[in-house]
Amino acid sequence: MIDRVAELVREFSADSPPTSTVDTIEHYEAIQFFKEGIFPEGHDKQDISAANAKVLQIEEAVGRYFSGLSEENLISSIKEIDYEYHERLLELLGKYKVYNRCDADVIISALIAEGVHVREMVGDESLVKACDYSIRKILLSSSRNAELFVDHFLSEAQQSQIYLPKSLTSNDYHKMYTEYIDLKDANATYLQLIAGAKPKHAPGIDDKIRLKAKRRYDSEVSKIFEGNSGTRFGIEIIFDPDIPVPCKSDSYESNGRITRYAYSTSWLDKTYDYPSILNNFIHLFDFVSFQGLMVFPAYHSQRSTIESLFGKTGKNDYKTGVWFNHLDDLSLLQIHAYRGYLKSKGIEIESVISWFFTKYLPIEFGAYGFMFIPSDTRTSFLQRVRHLFPEMEGVAHQFSLYAEEHEIDPELLTMSSKQIRFHDIPTQLNKKYLFQSDDETVAAIIYQLYNDQSSITRTKDGRKASDAIELLSSQLVRYDDFHPWQQNCIDFLVTQGILANDQDHVYPTNESQVAILETLFQYSSLNYCYLTEAQRIEADKMVEKGWLKPRDYLLTEEEAAYFDYCLNARFSNGLNLRNRYSHATQGSEEEHYKVYLIVLRLLISLVIKINDDFCLLSPAPDSLSNGLTLH
């Protein structure tokens, strides 16, 4: 549109300014380009100077026009304004004090007559302030407007900023939510957000409202699948004596797509001593990455662009996705199946965990004083879960004390009454983790290198890859193989020292740098202790640039958030298991068994992280290079 903009500004005359609201808005829109320094190609300094002079004249004309609007001419002046001009119209009416010169009901009536939607009205702060009670009346006139309340208070991805009248009361909100839940065509996504809301996050929402929304949501989801089975996905775990490797996976179609994981019983029969059992969770079931980072947290890289765009999540939600759910289901099945196998050998997983704290840590590292008492196998899973929560908190307290004092003083331990915060469990190491900062440069670099929506994942001739690094590393790609708009991105990455551009091709300048950035993309953090010397040099440079920040705790930010998601009330959609099981808990034995598996997963993860901390502090001569193998 830049040529049309230039023409509009060039032909403007202060002697004959626009006489209609549409023309005035169009001129105002046009000068925004020039004010941002966007001019047509070929504009020299003289042309730009002349254009800027016209910009000032147009601004004065716009001000005079809107300052002349009043109750007498408002309705006729804004008649038949297209939708595309609504937002700018509201902005200019506020900017030039039209709202202050007109009665609120007159303004609202005029806007409604021209098709201005209530969502557009509440997007303009000055309008809402000037017409508070009138807009309140409009909002309460339709229970559908409760969606605006949800967007404002609960939804993370708002279409636009929303401002609500201060005159709305808690009873108003409560009434609107109640009526909305009863709507025949209530949106299931909004029902889900209401059901998962914390009352303190939105006025008018209480436990009754949440339960009502949950029941309606469950009902609507059931209706969806009554006549449409959807696309089914499943996981299957088998033990096979004939496979030649410890584990292999494949997929097959059976009323949907099933991913099958086969584990060698020959391998399992050779690895059911206590150290090997824990090693199997590390190396066979892949509970952690090569850097000892837990795989279960909901990392941003796991969510596809489609999920991010079309999934509406709450402001205080834990951002899960398809891959998170897959790993959640897979790990619970792994524990369930492996637990059954170990029981056939007379072994309980809890006994292995107890051995780790009471035998392994003292013998291998001289770390005495750790205690973990397994639950009674003769009791129900409800009782076992209730027993394990304080035991898990106990070992977290014990490790915190040991990391700080290098010993566990039983009397000091008993004097501590505060609830453990997994986010704050200390480490014995210095400079353990580095995590990505809020710096926009490193965010842009990682996005362009690894995001599937990066502008440089394909060339002009159609060659493409899942991400830019794969494209540039697997093929000979020249600078001229990209479009000019892609070359801007290449230039940026070259300037930052990430890519090199010579006559033959474009390529990553430093393998160590790329390895660090890839780990940040996948896990948002990296374990400094696992880096090679060359990688540490690059990581230190990134710290100096402000791209990375240190975190010296047992868990990364993402790992701690995952523990909170499972145990505490930090997230609207969290499991909140610790609080649930500290009170009278309803549910079947099957439901309690699933929670039992979740708690085992957390305990095993905690064991792996604590072992990793000890191994990295005092690596044994015969340990593997990654320090994770129990020796």
Condensed to tens digits (0 to 9), the pLDDT of residues 556-606 reads: 999 999 999 999 989 989 999 998 898 766 789 999 999 999 999 999 999
DSSP-assigned beta bridge partners for residue 155: 314
Give the pLDDT score at 38: 82
Q: Which of 377, 333, 375 is nearest to 354 (CA)?
A: 375
Contact indicator for 239, 263 with CB cutoff of 8 Å: yes
Residues in contact with 295: Cβ distance below 8 Å, sequence separation at least 6, in sequence order: 286, 287, 288, 289, 327
Tell me the per-residue pLDDT of 321-341, one tens digit each, with 9 for 90 and over. 989 999 999 999 999 999 999
Contact at 8 Å (CB) between 127 and 93? yes
- How does the average pLDDT of the chain come out, rounded? 92
3 state SS of 515: helix
Residue in the block written with tokens 């609207």? 572
Q: pLDDT (tens digit, 9 = 90+) per residue, 84-110?
A: 999 999 999 999 999 999 999 999 999
Confidence band of 627 (pLDDT split at 50, 70, 90): very low
For 39-62, what is the mean pLDDT?
87
pLDDT of residue 629: 57
Hunting for tokens 């070992």 — which residue is that?
Answer: 395
Q: What region, left, alpha or beta, does residue 264 occupy, with left being phi > 0 and alpha being psi -120 to 50 degrees?
A: beta
User: How far, in Å, are 35, 431, 443, 565, 613 from residue 540 at the CA level?
Assistant: 41, 11, 17, 32, 21
* pLDDT for 620: 59
Residue 626 predicted with pLDDT over 50: no
Q: What is the dihedral of CA 250, 253, 256, 259, to 10 degrees?
A: -10
- Supply the pTM of this predicted model: 0.84
- Cβ neighbors of 12 (< 8 A, separation 6 or more) are 27, 54, 57, 58, 61
- Contact by Cβ (8 Å): 289, 544: no
Instruction: Answer for the pair 400, 425: CB distance below 8 angstroms, yes or no.
Output: yes
Alpha-carbon gap, residue 375 to 525, rounded angstroms: 35
Do 614 and 428 form a contact (C-beta atoms < 8 A)? yes
Mean pLDDT of 244-263: 91
Model pLDDT, residue 201: 82
| Furthest CA-CA distance within the chain | 96
